[in-house]
Homo-oligomer: A and B are copies of this chain.
Amino acid sequence: MEIEYKEKTFFTSKDLALSVIGGRWKIAIIWCLLQQSPLRLSDIQKYLPDVNQRMLIRQLRELEDDKIITRCVYPVVPPKVEYELSEIGLLLEPVVTSICDWGDNFRLFLEENSDEASVE
């Protein structure tokens, strides 16, 4: 039942999953690549203006390392690199969708609650 990955042991596939997609910006990156693909680094930066480039690159490297995304370097000048979801990466769509859906619900919940608060 145990899963060994990158010198760590996971006891459930959920824990394994979280170790791969749990990074701060990873769901956001995957979301971008589900909207549009392939994307260049500069495109992703436009989608995610709050992430600094250094961080973005680090998260992209980790995703590439885990085979969630592919990175295609074109030998041109100026450089051109395209990122795309891999087959296994594309399977994350239900995860992203369910998070978005819940977020919508939570947002409604917050609005209802703030209404109640202002009534009292």
- Contact surface of A with B, Cβ cutoff 8 Å: 3, 5, 12-18, 20-22, 24, 27-28, 31, 67, 88, 91-92, 94-107, 109-110, 113
Contact B94 A17 (CB under 8 A): no
Contact B5 A27 (CB under 8 A): no
Chain A interface SS verdict (over half): helix
Copies in the complex: 2
Residues of B near A13 (CB, < 8 A) are 100, 103-104, 106-107
Residues of B near A88 (CB, < 8 A) are 105-106, 109
Contact A106 B20 (CB under 8 A): yes
Distance in angstroms between the alpha carbons of A75 and B75 in the assembled complex: 70
Residues of B near A67 (CB, < 8 A) are 109, 113
Contact A110 B12 (CB under 8 A): no
Residues of B near A103 (CB, < 8 A) are 12-18
Question: Which residue of the partner chain B has the closest CB to A31?
Answer: B14
Residues of B near A18 (CB, < 8 A) are 27-28, 99, 103
Question: Which residue of the partner chain B has the closest CB to A88?
Answer: B109
